[in-house]
Structure 1
């Protein structure tokens, strides 16, 4: 067996909303076995290949290729590879208030595995960021925090997969493109509905126009970035694909009541 491990234990800062403890990739063998009891840690582990067993909080699960298993704070767990076809897996270990929020807000309690959910690109990006020696630890945490949010939303949507109504299809289309630049014509192209139909149906179902909903969701995500990352206001504006920083600031103030800078300053002074 061999592993590539990037450790950040010595850099963890309890003042940060999230700390990245370790990340890595493991090429397991039949002797691979990890056991923990009640540690203050979370992790995502994506199975690239192979199979094995996870025993966690009285559940016995069998993660295999393309599955994600999750280890949660204060859990009792042991996991190990099969002898015939051991795991190759990519993983990240983290903790903090933001981790607690993401799990409680978006993922069902006592859920420790999501079957057939490919998050390799996100996990590989975390691994690449971890190996970039030029990054400061706060910058690493900021970028990994964004990727963890994307992973959680992907897991949530995968778990909730169902036949969606037209209104739900419109809402999902807006939600998954929240960081992109998108208008109603793009939604028409993606879903094959007319503009008038989309606006009327969405307003009847959710009490708000698609445009107003999309802008509101962008500002909600901007609030999370302002609270939980070191990204500048201009960087957040660019990440969320606003036309420019001035439009971002005016949109933010129209919804939140204060400018992005004032919001961050007030939140940190509490």
Structure 2
């Protein structure tokens, strides 16, 4: 008997400290591997998810979406499975909801906007270990915000992309980019229609150079126009990076 297959979105969050990123890899533990295992066990069928993107090792997500096709599973059973799925997952990964979508819905390609945050802290804090970058130095935050605003004037971000990727284009539309101060640090917030591999960490590393007065805003523009990764700053540590929001036209 052929069972009807329905597509579902899974919304989740995770602390990426112990994982080698989202995507399944040989000889490494990943978030996707753990999620697929839990779904497969509970629904008693092989389940392979497809995520809204791929986060690198050590990167976190407060909101992440994946889709999966489930055969012979009613909407009611899938929606009500959240607590059971969470019981099968490591404590660092938590599913918040499962919901039915149309058969062609795609967690990656249908997303219209994504937002990341990068967290700094300036004083030693045991509760920020692995979740924020301890930065020891002084930064000119006003200069960094002036430079960050310039990012919205460009679309080709080859200078901040990991080399040898399979992307067809390095064009992205950034709609927001700024720093805000916190009690013990700093948070960089950035939103775009898409991001390149390592893009946010490379941008932050370059803006830190502005904050140190190693380069100015005009030199940042030269780096962007060069389309050469070697001209940009070093990538900041993964521990401070969070995927925080994904927007879909059909998801509340």
TM-score range, shorter chain: under 0.3
Structure ID, larger Rg: 1
Bigger share in strand: 2
Q: Please, what TM-score do these two structures have when normalized by structure 1? A: 0.25
- With CA pairs under 8 Å and 6+ residues apart, which has the higher RCO, 1 or 2? 2
